[in-house]
Structure 1
Amino acid sequence: MIVISNFQEFEQQVGNDLGVSSWHTITQEQINKFADATLDHQWIHTDPERAKTESPFKSTIAHGYLTLSLIPHLWKEIVKIENLKMEINYGIENLRFAQPVLVDNEVRLKVKLAGLLNLRGVIKATMSIEMEIKDQRKPAFSGDVVFLYHFIG
């Protein structure tokens, strides 16, 4: 895990692969809870029996936004940012879903620091990310996420 305490330490990482998270298994329970939270109960996510017979995947699949929602959690396994007042999700750019994540697939986040700007004390960090699926050639998605960091002092 990389530890970053200030802008200068962050700046030294621009262009670097920052690492990968641990593997996270997408369970049917997690998919169902996400469906409840987002009111998206489409059968391709929540009906395993119907998915076995009617889905081209022969399985339920995770919501694309469920996989995206794992970014902050998995990011914190890769880099620890210290001396923060606040961290804000600012945006997602050039996002492409390449293939679905099936129930019980394992996923992990791969991150490269693409860019960093100091906007009068607020740090705008752009990370190139990829959500890998274990034993699959193509990622679940790839794109750039942007966080704003407000360091103390």
Structure 2
Amino acid sequence: MNDRFSPGFMDKISGYRLEIKSVRMRFETLNQSNNKPEKRRIMKKYDFKDIEGMQAEVTETFSDWSEEITVSQELINQFAELSGDSYWLHTDAEKCVKSSPFKTTIAHGFLTLILLPKMPTPLSFEVTGFNNMLNAGSDRLRFTGIVPANSKIYCRSRVKAVTGSAKGTTLTLEQQVHVVGEERPVLVYEMMFMYM
């Protein structure tokens, strides 16, 4: 009988298989322990009536940058049609090359403003216990630079103020939009929202 098929040979093969399986299991266990997901940072929580607690979040330090978005000429054209503002600085690339100081079309300031919800910057805390959260307006809006067509923009924010009233708690969030790579913001907006 050929030795390859003898019972002793088959026992050896089975033993090797068990050893390989054991080594594989130890490797997988080690790999899993080395690649454990980082513990999620526990977010502070404030009841919306805890004005003093929330005021501790007021800071001069801005958040990390949001995701980048591209302000394409197509997007600018769509906003021009929607808003009725088809001024050539936004829509006529040829004329801009000849006559604009920027030599290219630029986004409308209000287009940059309405793109803010597409660039969320998470707060470092959570507000709880409220029934409604309303946009209460703005204390400040400045268009401080231009957004050339096809630029990438992103946003960062900071908590500027927390105040209370009989109606609820108002949080003022300063948001700055920059063209990626530029130090000076193109938009500064202080958004106020009220927790009730």
> How many Å apart are 1:120 and its aligned residue?
3.8
Q: Secondary structure at the match of 2:135?
A: strand
**Of residues 104, 122, 131 in structure 2, which corresponds to 1:59?**
104
**Of residues 128, 136, 145 in structure 2, which corresponds to 1:90?**
136
TM-score, normalisation: structure 1: 0.80
> How many Å apart are 1:107 and its aligned residue?
1.0
> How many Å apart are 1:96 and its aligned residue?
2.3
CA 113–58 in structure 1, closer or farther in 2 if over 3 Å, else same: same
User: Match for 1:14: what amino acid?
Assistant: V
Q: CA RMSD in A?
A: 2.6
Q: Secondary structure at the match of 1:136?
A: coil
Larger helix proportion of the pair: 2
Any unmatched runs of 5+ in structure 1? Answer: none
Deviation digits for residues 20-75 of structure 1 (CA, Å, limit 9, x no counterpart): 21111101111111111111111111112222222111111000011111223323
**Of residues 181, 184, 193 in structure 2, which corresponds to 1:138?**
184
- Contact between 1:19 and 1:112, CA under 8 Å: does it hold in 2? no
> How many Å apart are 1:87 and its aligned residue?
3.3
TM-score, normalisation: structure 2: 0.64
CA 31–10 in structure 1, closer or farther in 2 if over 3 Å, else same: farther
- Contact between 1:131 and 1:142, CA under 8 Å: does it hold in 2? yes
The whole-number CA distance in structure 2 between the counterparts of 1:97 and 1:45 is: 15
What aligned pairs does 1:1-153 form with structure 2 within 5 A after superposition?
6-7=47-48, 8=50, 10-15=54-59, 17-75=62-120, 77-79=121-123, 85-120=131-166, 122-150=168-196
CA 27–82 in structure 1, closer or farther in 2 if over 3 Å, else same: farther
Larger radius of gyration: 2
CA 42–85 in structure 1, closer or farther in 2 if over 3 Å, else same: farther
Aligned length in residues: 149
- Contact between 1:105 and 1:133, CA under 8 Å: does it hold in 2? yes
Query: Comparing both chains, which one has the higher relative contact order based on Cα–Cα distances under 8 Å and sequence gaps of 6 or more?
Result: 1
The whole-number CA distance in structure 1 between the counterparts of 2:46 and 2:65 is: 20
Larger strand proportion of the pair: 1
Q: Secondary structure at the match of 1:20?
A: coil
User: Match for 1:94: what amino acid?
Assistant: R
- Contact between 1:129 and 1:143, CA under 8 Å: does it hold in 2? yes
